[in-house]
Amino acid sequence: MQAEYDFIIVGAGSAGCVLANRLSEDETASVLLVEAGPRDRSWQLSMPAALAYPLRSNRFNWGYTTEPQEHLNNRRLYWPRGRVLGGSSSINGMVWVRGHPWDFDNWYAQGMDGWAYCQVLPYFKRLEKWSEGADAYRGGDGLVGVLRGNYPNPLFDAYVEAGRQAGYPVSADFNGRQFEGFGRFDMNIWQGRRQSSSQTYLEPARKRPNLTVMTETFVSRVMIEKGKATGIQCVQGRNEMTVSAAREVILCGGAINSPQVLMLSGVGPAAALHKHSIRVEADLPGVGGNLQDHLNTSVKYGCTQPVTLYGADRFPKNILIGLQYFLSRTGAGATMHTEAGCFIKAMPGADIPDIQHHFIPILVYDNGRKPADQHGFQCHVCPVRPESRGAVALASGDPTVAPVIQPNCMSTDRDLAMMIECIKVTREGLHQPAMEPFLGPELFPGPGVKSDAEILDYVRQSAVTCYHPSGTCKMGNDDMAVVDDQLKVRGIDNLRVIDASVMPELVSGNTNAAIMMMAELSADRILGQMPEAPIDVAIDGYEPIRAAGLRETKELETVS
């Protein structure tokens, strides 16, 4: 442990581990990575099929709970977030989806230079070691092993074929030319192991003498002097310590923890900071605001054939699955079983897909905390561009007290209408000939739930997080922006935020791949390296911004 490092990275999650690797490649730079949680040595984290264990425990998980949600029958939602090396990439569902190219072009159109799809595509490619081989869209020699779903459960193929029969496209690659359609997901799984940011980026760098990793170390605040971040205060066990940063402090704690640390450090809405007797270093009203998340509900069916995962977590099936996995890294333990899904248009006039499915060959209740009671399968359905916005706020000036999380789920008429349409579209898609050999009775919402009001009642009592909180330290140029397009905190020198919190708008899909991309791109900027050259590619149904058009004003139509 040194008294000073060039770079201090707070949070060893999807972004933090990438940055620790890339910044420590500069042998002249000393790097400290600080993580509140433990090391990621448990089989529960490396075994893909075991993902429910860390999601429902508090060993590797902050286990946050939201405020009561007015539009969800005043329920408090369970919000698990990773508290371990790898962060949420060590406990998530391992679906590897970048988002729609429009998402990044939209950031660029709002004034965020460097974030157009043609500019971020090289960094997505840099991440990947894709099982199908490199091409214009995909990477082949990156650090993250990405596997196309190939588990031989007949329900996956039946689901995709049912989508085609319902009139939707079939996508050969959601991360390639065609985002829209039904198909098999990619998974950040390689040789039967979860490819978290810790396993892929941090482990190869751990032996570098210029990289120090501190686990079970809680950062209480960033030290700021005369408008400049100078280091951190942290606690490890009973030891309180101060560590200085010669060049930068980089917050990578995620959409909940990064705004909390900023506010504890005096960066945030002045009135809220005064309430907790915190000295204001920079009055940034947007810190903690703009909270977004993908909210999802599920349509559940019984299955008429014993091809689901029912009983896989019970004796003796769990023993047999475990033996095969630990002996050969194969079988039912080597996948997360969310291998199929879709991105389709639901609302009239939609220009690009507006809902996502995650198809699972088992019934899941309460974030996996309640076991399935019969053979069945389900579609998790969620709108991918929600309008609802919430906030993260301090509950106390005590750093150990969890912040107040108020996502304001389903607080707009459009979000309500979208969820109703999600249920209708999903039912239509599953009631196709390809699913007939497996389709049992509809368990939830249930055949008696037909009218919009009845569907909405079901959504209000069943909707849960899709684990994608974002936006609480948004980049931008407006009064609510917290960071600029270089991800530097406004008004404070030598301080950046690099994680999901800086997304001005949530990407259309799972967030892990996009966060890792943002860290790869940002590492080049921090080290003063030339950015990767933009790559122009064709996208079915959408015309992305071209490299030749960069830095020119380009208006994007608002997507329905």
Residue 64 · residue 402 · CB < 8 Å: yes
Distance CA 219, CA 11 (A): 9
Residue 363 · residue 386 · CB < 8 Å: no
Give the other-Cβ count within 10 Å of 321's Cβ.
20
Verify whether residue 337 is a known catalytic residue: no
User: Can you point out the beta strands (E) in 327-374?
Assistant: 340-344, 355-360
Q: Which residue has the tokens 């970048």?
A: 98
Residue 388 · residue 506 · CB < 8 Å: no
Distance CA 88, CA 51 (A): 11
Q: What angle do CA 503, 504, 509 make, to 5 degrees?
A: 55
Q: Which residues contact 489 (CB under 8 A, 6 or more apart)?
A: 229, 262, 267, 282, 284, 473, 482, 483, 495, 496, 497
Written as six digits, the tokens of 214 are 């501190």
Q: In 3-state terms, what secondary structure has residue 238?
A: coil
Element (H, E) at 6: strand 4-10
Amino acid at 431: H
Give the other-Cβ count within 10 Å of 399's Cβ.
17
Q: Which residues contact 209 (CB under 8 A, 6 or more apart)?
A: none
**Closest among 294, 290, 254, 291 to 466, alpha carbons compared:** 294
Helix crossing, 413-430 with 154-165: angle to 10°?
110
Q: In 3-state terms, what secondary structure has residue 543?
A: coil
Residue 262 · residue 254 · CB < 8 Å: no
Q: In 3-state terms, what secondary structure has residue 254?
A: helix
H-type helices in 367-497, by residue range?
413-430, 452-462
H-type helices in 407-556, by residue range?
413-430, 452-462, 512-526
Element (H, E) at 376: strand 376-383
Residue 44 · residue 333 · CB < 8 Å: no
Q: Which residues contact 39 (CB under 8 A, 6 or more apart)?
A: 84, 85, 215
How far is the first Cα of the chain from the last one, in angstroms, to the nearest whole number? Answer: 52
C-alpha count within 13 angstroms, C-beta hemisphere, residue 259: 37
Distance CA 428, CA 423 (A): 9
The active-site residue out of 100, 294, 380, 468 is 468
Catalytically annotated residues: 468
